[in-house]
A and B are shown apart, each in its own frame.
Chain A
Amino acid sequence: MTEAVIEAQDVSIALGGHPVHRGLSLTVARGEVVALIGGSGSGKSVLLREIIGLMKPQGGCIKLFGQSVWDSTPEQMSRLRRRFGVLFQDGALFSSLSVEDNVATPLFEHTVLPRVTCRQLARLKLAMVGLPPDAARKRPSELSGGMRKRVALARALALDPELLFLDEPTSGLDPISARAFDALIRLLANSLGLTVFLVTHDLDTLFSIIDRVIVLSDSRVLGSGTVAELRHIDDPWLREYFAARPTKGETVHGN
């Protein structure tokens, strides 16, 4: 068994008197590309925020790289934060900075490299996510939605993290850009040896680049496994979810 990168045990949280998680547990091993799915309001985003240290669970324990997220000193947490990158749903780029400086910000803060070198490394990251060189000097508001996501991905990768969190990476993108973004994530995960944990609604993402799917339902983990394994789980929501898409093999049509 390879090393567990994310471990959540008996996580519980209630928001506004309504339980969101009740004794939720999950594990993600190094090198996996894992998707978290679940209906609206099933607490996917809350779970993501708990794991990356933005929202404190009321019970249970969350560990990243074997270190507890909520019982660490600020210094330990700061070191831990350098080991993972987060892509927020709308990119969350700093609108007052150029694209290049957005990507270089983590390098400015966490390394002793000269600023010129940081900017050059930022350009390397922009090239790796497939952006043209002339995008570097633009402001985030001058870019299309797909390009903004790529910039946000480049920023999440700036410090070469081992673990990448993606919150609905393909939402708001057209199908072609979305597939290209999926392919990019898988390519980077393979070539950089990343562990990827993503929250998604996109069935195409699930079928194309995911090693394992974790399903959230009724405040707990309903099941986990490959898409084919999940089809055997007898759950009304899951059945309806996959009904939109026939089983693999049938997707190839004659024409």
Chain B
Amino acid sequence: MTAAHALYDETQGTLVASGIWRADSIGALPDLAGKHVRVIDGAGVTELDTNGAWLLLAAARPKASDPMPELRSFQPRHLAMLQLVAPHCAVTATKPKPPREGMLELAGRGTLVVWGHVFGLVNFIGHLFLELVALSAYPGRWRWRELGAQVNAVFVGAIPIVAGMLFLLGVVFAYLLGSQAQQYGANIFVVDGLLLAILREISPVIVAVLVAGRTGAAITAQIGTMKVTEEIDAITTLGLSPLAVLVIPRVIALLLALPLLVFIGDIAGILGGMVVTQEQLDISSHMFMDRMVDVMDLKTLLVGLSKAPVFAIFIALIACRMGLSVTRDARSVGANTTSTVVQSLVAIIILNAIFAVMFVRLEI
């Protein structure tokens, strides 16, 4: 196969083209900037397609304003191809350049995105509240089946991962705490520390993070895909409200499931700690239980559990809102799912910090 070839004859102002002019057989072309090509000689061209024709004309006329050269000795069908392409050259000659973004523009855009999310969430909460008020007048319109299916998906399916995760975290936490406490002979106080950490901080936060990654992402992907396939539009035209059909059951399911999951996480974490203290610190499970009864406040448990519904509402609201704001393509489903997880994690951490300050101020 003879590759495309073009030779410029300076004295005659003639560009002699030869070989196969197809997109996949063309490599480097001569740079004729500043030269004036009067004639293109195509006697040696064996094949020419639209890509080849455009590249030949573009090489002969570096600027779109250059005059059209005379086309000499081309085969008739090659000439037809060149004439087909020639009228489009003016449009395509300008090299596309992506606009550059400065730091200031990026910072501005970022701020607008964050503001958009905050504003969007507040707006969404308002709509949802109105929908709840409307629904409370017609209890028959509650989607009990959907709620049941969601509780099953959010709660039952998450039990193994939550229990497993918190068990291992309990093991690690008790082990680290134990190796320190052992040096001071304060073995039994490991139980106090473990209970406080697991019940108050670790279990609520870790379970919320797990649910944000597992359920939050799933909600956004599902509602987002329904948006792409116009199912949401179908729901609306059937006279139903997507908020009542899709969002409210998910919010309530998460609201019910997350405290239960945190409680399961509490038990698993304590069990994990118990296994380690037995092996490492010679605290029998009996002693562990006795100490637990002595030091554990109901308050500690309730503080941890009370965070769960707040986390749940934020995860569900963020996930549903991002799902409904998917535009009609696959890329935006991916982008919004990512955004759901990021927003949920940020929300969980900020809320947890607010809780910490609040509980200290209230002396709980």
Contact = CB atoms under 8 A, between A and B. Distances in A.
Interface in A126-154: 127-128, 133, 136-137, 139-141
B21 to A, nearest CB: 10
Nearest to A187: B84
Given A123-B96, A127-B91, A159-B24, A140 B58 contact: no
Contacts of A136: 96
B54 interface: yes
A208 interface: no
Interface of A is mostly: helix
Interface stretch (A28-36, A56-64, A112-120, A175-183): A112-120
A19 interface: no
A110 B331 contact: no
Nearest to A95: B329
Contacts of B91: 123, 127, 133
A141 B23 contact: no
Contact of A116 (B77, B96, B330): B96
**Interface size classification for chain B:** 20 to 34
A124 to B, nearest CB: 5
B327 A113 contact: no
A100 interface: yes
B88 A141 contact: no
A113 B329 contact: no
A137 B98 CA distance: 9
A251 interface: no
Contact of A96 (B22, B58, B84, B331): B331
Contacts of A140: 329
A121 B59 CA distance: 13
B51 A96 contact: no
B19 to A, nearest CB: 15
A231 interface: no
Nearest to B22: A160
Interface string A175-196: 0000000000000000111000
A213 to B, nearest CB: 28
Contacts of A255: none
A87 interface: no
Given A159-B51, A193-B77, A120 B23 contact: no
Interface residues of A, number: 32
Interface of B is mostly: helix
B55 interface: yes
A107 interface: yes
Contact of A111 (B23, B54, B81, B84): B23
B95 A116 contact: yes
B26 interface: yes
A160 B27 contact: no
A241 to B, nearest CB: 30
Contacts of B327: 141
Contact of A124 (B24, B26, B50, B332): B50
Contact of B23 (A100, A119, A128, A159): A159
A82 B51 CA distance: 14
A2 to B, nearest CB: 16
A141 B328 contact: yes
B85 interface: yes
A43 B88 CA distance: 40
A119 B96 contact: yes
Contacts of B55: 113, 117, 121
Interface in B181-195: none
A123 B55 CA distance: 13
A111 to B, nearest CB: 5
Interface string B5-38: 0000000000000000011101100000000000
B49 interface: yes
Contacts of B27: 112
Nearest to A137: B96
A141 B328 CA distance: 6
A100 B96 contact: yes
Interface in A75-111: 82, 95-96, 100, 107, 110-111
Given A95-B330, A124-B50, A160 B23 contact: yes
B24 A110 contact: yes
Nearest to A100: B96
Contacts of B96: 100, 116, 119-120, 123, 136-137
Contacts of A82: 24
Nearest to B88: A127
B80 interface: yes
B278 interface: no
B95 A120 contact: yes
Contacts of B93: 120
A124 B23 contact: no
Interface string B67-106: 0000000000100110011001001110110000000000
Given A123-B92, A140-B329, A160 B77 contact: no
Interface centre among B51, B58, B330 (most CB of A within 10 A): B51
5 contacts: A117-B58, A124-B85, A139-B331, A159-B24, A160-B52
Q: Which 9 residue pairs spanning A and B have beta carbons closest together?
A: A95-B329, A160-B49, A127-B88, A96-B331, A141-B329, A123-B92, A95-B330, A111-B23, A124-B92
Interface of A: 82, 95-96, 100, 107, 110-113, 116-117, 119-121, 123-125, 127-128, 133, 136-137, 139-141, 157-160, 191-193
Given A116-B96, A192-B81, 17 more contacts: A96-B329, A100-B96, A110-B24, A111-B23, A113-B23, A120-B54, A120-B96, A124-B50, A127-B91, A127-B92, A128-B84, A128-B88, A133-B91, A136-B96, A157-B50, A160-B50, A160-B52
